[in-house]
Amino acid sequence: MKDDLIPLLNIAFFYLKFRPRTIKETRTHLYKKVRTTHWSHVAVDKIINHLIELKFLDDKVFIDYLVNSRTKTKVKGIYAIKQELNKFGVDRELVDEYFSNIEINEDELAEKALARRWEIIKNLPKQKRFEKAINLLSRRGFNYETSKKAFEDLINKE
């Protein structure tokens, strides 16, 4: 690594410090930085390749990070997770390969997402409660059948 690229590498390291990033995200961030400096896009590409070699950038690791995050804390359906990965610039083939190799119980996720809001909506009239539950889950990327099943499961548990 040339000495004149070390400040750019430090910018990249600082950007990667807070959470895993995709290659596209990092490249876009560094391209914004080079607009106001003497570095070029070629220098950014060298830095990106160097970070990939050092295993600081890996889209497969990012997919794993995001899926774990979206199935444990901010619960979302597979469709919404795929959309978010697409927004972050992860290659669609990598995403499809990941989801073909992993088993995710979407019914369980939908019920978990709805259970958090259940205390708020459980005292509403049945039709209004159903609408709110379905709307919440559809915004989180769950299909109608999965949402309806989660709603019925929570009603049966009461």
Per DSSP, the residues of the chain read: --GGGHHHHHHHHHHHTSS---HHHHHHHHHHHHTTSS--HHHHHHHHHHHHHTTS--HHHHHHHHHHHHHHTS---HHHHHHHHHHTT--HHHHHHHHHH----HHHHHHHHHHHHHHHHTTS-HHHHHHHHHHHHHHTT--HHHHHHHHHHHHHH-
Q: Which residue is associated with the tokens 């390969």?
A: 97
CA distances (Å), 49 to each of 13, 14, 28, 46, 63, in order?
13, 17, 14, 5, 19
- Give me the amino acid identity at 79: Y
Whether residue 75 contacts residue 114, with contact meaning beta carbons closer than 8 Å, is answered with: no
The two three-digit tokens of residue 114, written as one number: 């709805």
Mean pLDDT (whole number) for 58-72: 94
Grade residue 49 by pLDDT with cuts at 50, 70 and 90. Answer: very high
> Fold for domain 59-101?
Arc Repressor Mutant, subunit A (1.10.10)
Grade residue 1 by pLDDT with cuts at 50, 70 and 90. Answer: low
The two three-digit tokens of residue 10, written as one number: 């430090």
Query: Residue 141 above 90 pLDDT?
Result: yes
pLDDT value, residue 69: 93
